[in-house]
Structure 1
Amino acid sequence: MEFDIPSIIQGYAKGYFLMANDGDDSLGWYSSRQRALIPLDDRFRYPKSLRRVLNQNRFQVAVNRDFVGVVEGCADRKTTWISPTLKKIYWELYQTGWAYSFETWQGDTLAGGILGIAIGGAFIGESMFFRIPEGSKVAMVLLVERLRDRGFILFDAQMNNPHLERFGAYTIRERDYKILLQKALARPCSLL
């Protein structure tokens, strides 16, 4: 299956996302009847223990300082859907201004990060990882703040899990998601 940047962006704009099967380099478009969202309003929350970490300013934030490092960090697990082909696609999306890495750093060490695609006022989170405890959680909190400040409407987490629920993640029906996505796509926003 051939993928070019315009068709990939069009697929995401229609509510689909790319994944490879673990151990397989074939890609496919996927959707979900229940789409997970990270709230960008007062429903967003995080543990009090994380508030202390944020107040200590142990991490610095960067966007796209080490995009490849974030992709590799997200793919570095026992089972991964980020295949070599998908890594190349993310790189092309990054090169053309669609994909971003939102990173936390401790000095010169990449502590954690979130990989995502920004289209209009929609940020589609693809994956996250950490190398230093709390690195990805701090990235989540500060990314939500940035998305709010920049006028984003939607933070799509694709599939929910207990970790995301700790931040207030919730699911909506596919039909409702597509309505919200179209509204978000119509809003010009920039992560930078």
Structure 2
Amino acid sequence: MSDQDHEIVSGLLQAYRAGIFPMADPDTGVIDWYSPDPRSLMPISIYPDHQGRCFHVSRSLARRLRSGHLVLTTDAAFTSVIRSCAEPREERPDSWIDERIIHAFTLLHHAGHAHSIEAWLPAGPLSVAAAAPSRPAQAYGRRRSDMHRRWTRSQHDSRSVTPVLSHDGLHVLVGGIYGVSIGSAFFAESMFCRPELGHRPGADGQAGNSPGTDASKVCLFHLVSHLHARGYTVMDVQLRNSHTDQFGVYTVTRDTYLEMLAASCDRPTSWLPFDPARHVVPTRSP
């Protein structure tokens, strides 16, 4: 890793410890820095804790989890996950995840401070034919810092939209989530779902129900369960919205958040082992 890369990693870790995170503005090309107040957190428990908080599992998600269709891994395709999160979506044609963000968070990943969880389905002939090799990674959304000047803006933000296959070529990536890990604090960044890659034709020749539906939510459930199993104490989701609310997100003041970070970031925690088979699906939603 070059001196410049070390600077990027060190600067990002300092920013996250201070409760600050970057996002690229797709309109201006500037990387802005945020520290919202209040701050949004995800409960790190599937069952109610002493404050009555827990990660909410809907009945439909519980059915997905019990179906066993998806194969879950960690850090098997970090680059592909972050690039998939950066792809344009119908509700969001532009992304705060650009090549500078992708590059910076990939450096964090190589330094052991960024992780991904992936969801895979068996690859059909169409997926295999359309798949292309994953490319090296380089992706995150107002306070300016001189750090953004060390990130050279790419003239061409190329984003793969082709299916991503596992190393053995037997599975296709249909969902994932990634984030930053410092001590016992985890900062969730983004997630994606590609259910169309798992479509199965129905009896009438139409696309049937996809076993890849809700793959990103499945990854989120396993992330929360994994953080709980490994002894993490904070899961930051930055900003609250209608999507995160369905999972039981709550808010704290910035001062409270910084106190929690100070205690969590200096508490050593190991990311591995990752054992999704031991993550228990609740019998009913809270």
Shorter-chain TM-score range: over 0.9
- Provide the residue aligned with 2:143 in structure 1: none
Q: Distance in 1 between matches of 2:66 and 2:31?
A: 41
Q: Distance in 2 between matches of 1:37 and 1:109?
A: 31
Q: Alignment partner of 2:26: what SS?
A: coil
Q: Distance in 1 between matches of 2:28 and 2:193?
A: 24
Q: Alignment partner of 1:28: what SS?
A: strand
- Provide the residue aligned with 1:105 in structure 2: 120
- Provide the residue aligned with 1:159 in structure 2: 239
Amino acid at match of 1:79: D
- Provide the residue aligned with 1:147 in structure 2: 227
Deviation at 1:44, TM superposition (A): 1.3
- Provide the residue aligned with 1:92 in structure 2: 107
Q: Distance in 1 between matches of 2:29 and 2:74?
A: 28
Q: Distance in 1 between matches of 2:61 and 2:16?
A: 32
Which residue, out of 252, 257, 262, partners 1:177? 257
Cα offsets for 1:15-68 (capped at 9, x unmatched)? 000111014443232110111111013221111111111111111111111111
Equivalences for 1:13-24 in 2 at 5 Å?
13-24=17-28
Amino acid at match of 1:44: F
More strand by share: 1
Equivalences for 1:1-192 in 2 at 5 Å?
4-41=8-45, 42=48, 43-77=54-88, 78-107=93-122, 108-132=171-195, 133-192=213-272
TM-score with structure 2 setting the length: 0.64
Cα offsets for 1:92-151 (capped at 9, x unmatched)? 111111111111111311111111000000010111111122100000111111000000
Q: Alignment partner of 1:61: what SS?
A: strand
Are the counterparts in 2 of residues 25 and 84 from structure 1 also a CA contact under 8 Å? no
**Percent of pairs with identical residues:** 34
- Provide the residue aligned with 2:136 in structure 1: none
Q: Alignment partner of 1:4: what SS?
A: helix
Q: Distance in 2 between matches of 1:8 and 1:144?
A: 23
> How many residue pairs were aligned?
191
Deviation at 1:190, TM superposition (A): 2.0
Q: Distance in 2 between matches of 1:72 and 1:40?
A: 26
| Runs of 4+ residues deviating >2 angstroms | 23-26
Q: Alignment partner of 2:22: what SS?
A: strand
Structure 1: segments with no counterpart, 5+ residues:
none
Structure 2: segments with no counterpart, 5+ residues:
49-53, 123-170, 196-212, 273-286
Larger Rg: 2
Deviation at 1:189, TM superposition (A): 1.0
TM-score with structure 1 setting the length: 0.95
Q: Distance in 2 between matches of 1:56 and 1:101?
A: 22
Are the counterparts in 2 of residues 121 and 188 from structure 1 also a CA contact under 8 Å? yes
Are the counterparts in 2 of residues 37 and 157 from structure 1 also a CA contact under 8 Å? yes
